[in-house]
Structure 1
Amino acid sequence: MATPTARDVKFFVPTKDFETSVAFYQDLGWKLNWREDKLAEVELAEARFFLQDFYAKEWAENFMVYVVVDSAADWYQHAKAMLETGRYPSMRVQEPKLEPYGATVCYVWDPCGVLLHFAEFPNR
């Protein structure tokens, strides 16, 4: 039996404070495609996911989003500037570091603890 086709894959990202997370992702560079009371779709690099008004600490702090970028250093500077505004006090940012698998990665934690990996590969 042939596998049915698919046209898109999206996932649901938790938020501790829905309004803050929607603003955070927009400030970070995601485009807000649409929103309702408890759900919003954001997009970056033609990939989309849902921000949902739901929070479970263990889930949020173990959820990760991996983004392949041209420059981890640029994303670090961008995220650091956001952090310095004080608008997102629970946000964290780590300087880019070379990981054993070859990517240079800037780590950013969103307002509810979701870990974003901004990964730069030298030969891509």
Structure 2
Amino acid sequence: MRIDDIRVFIPAKDYPQSQAFYQSLGFNMEYVSEALSLFDNGDCYFFLQRFYNQALAENLVLQISVIDIDEAWQKIIQLEGFDIRYQPIKQERWGKVIYLWGPSGELLQLTEFKQ
């Protein structure tokens, strides 16, 4: 079996707020249905669903590889109006990372890998 793509489905506690949050991070949104939106940035995609399960959301971790962690940090600190939390850039053995919890409790690890 050969795989050419994997797309995660992210639950949304407040669907419109989560849609706005991911658009503010720089993702493009495409309407799929009343309960599903497709987001993309470059060749990377994920679905946002109008479905919420607290245990699922709070245990969901996505690693998002970024080219420039400082650019990502500037975007994050300018976000307003969202129920989110984040930690500043941290050096890990694999590179630099920002831990960002989205509006539904999902954890995004924005990572700039070591070259």
Tell me the TM-score normalized by structure 2. 0.92
Amino acid at match of 2:87: Q
Deviation at 1:68, TM superposition (A): 1.0
Alignment of 1:73-88 (within 5 A): 73-82=70-79, 85=80, 87-88=81-82
User: Which protein is bigger by CA-based radius of gyration?
Assistant: 1
Identity percentage of aligned residues = 32
- Separation in 1 of the partners of 2:29 and 2:94? 32
- Separation in 2 of the partners of 1:39 and 1:121? 31
1:48 to 25, 45, 48: 45
Amino acid at match of 2:105: G
Which consecutive aligned stretches of 4+ in structure 1 deviate over 4 angstroms post-superposition? none
Task: Provide the secondary structure at the position in 2 that maps to 1:23.
Answer: helix
Task: Provide the secondary structure at the position in 1 that maps to 2:78.
Answer: helix
Task: Provide the secondary structure at the position in 1 that maps to 2:97.
Answer: strand
Q: Please give the root-mean-square deviation of Cα atoms over the aligned residues, in Å.
A: 1.3
Alignment correspondent of 2:22: 25
Q: Which has the higher strand share?
A: 2
Alignment correspondent of 1:14: 11
Aligned pairs, number: 115
1:109 to 98, 101, 104: 101
Deviation at 1:34, TM superposition (A): 2.5
> Which residues of structure 1 form unaligned runs of 5+?
none
- Separation in 2 of the partners of 1:115 and 1:9? 18
Deviation at 1:39, TM superposition (A): 0.5
* Range 32-41 or range 11-20, more displaced: 32-41
Task: Provide the secondary structure at the position in 1 that maps to 2:40.
Answer: strand
* Range 50-59 or range 26-35, more displaced: 26-35
- Separation in 1 of the partners of 2:24 and 2:66? 17
Alignment correspondent of 1:95: 88
Task: Provide the secondary structure at the position in 1 that maps to 2:30.
Answer: strand
Asked if the contact 1:12/1:52 (under 8 Å) is kept, the reply is yes
Task: Provide the secondary structure at the position in 2 that maps to 1:54.
Answer: coil
- Separation in 2 of the partners of 1:69 and 1:112? 22
